[in-house]
Amino acid sequence: MDQKKTADFSRFRELGLIKSVDAPIQNLSAEQKAALNRKGNQFYNEGEIEAARRIFVTTGYSDGLTRIGDHYLSKGREIDALKMFWLAHNKRKAEPLIGKIAQVIESLIKT
């Protein structure tokens, strides 16, 4: 990540807005969420997928998390995609991946 983007994240560090767990921060105001989601969308549109992911996980922005999941899926990162769909509460996209993983586990058990 370049210096400007690193500086963007460091502004939020002392506010507790950059997280290391996968649950949205509950005490963000609507204005804070909107500002962070706009920044996340900007990062996503610039191809900074991981920067966008960090913000969307922080805010719990389901549309953003789903887009990150779709991106991961297009890159063959099915487990990462499943995690994003799960965090977004997007059962329609998560269930096929869960079924696929279940088939893999079933085939491993049978052998």
Is 3-110 assigned to CATH 1.25.40?
yes
pTM: 0.76
Ranges of beta strands (E only) in the chain are none
pLDDT of residue 11: 58
Domain regions of the chain by residue span? 3-110
- Show the tokens assigned to 49: 């997928």
Quick: pLDDT tens for 54-76: 999 999 999 999 999 999 999 99
Distance (Å) of CA 6 to CA 11, 51, 89, 90, 106: 9, 9, 29, 30, 43
* 3-class SS shares of the chain: helix, strand, coil, % to 5: 75, 0, 25
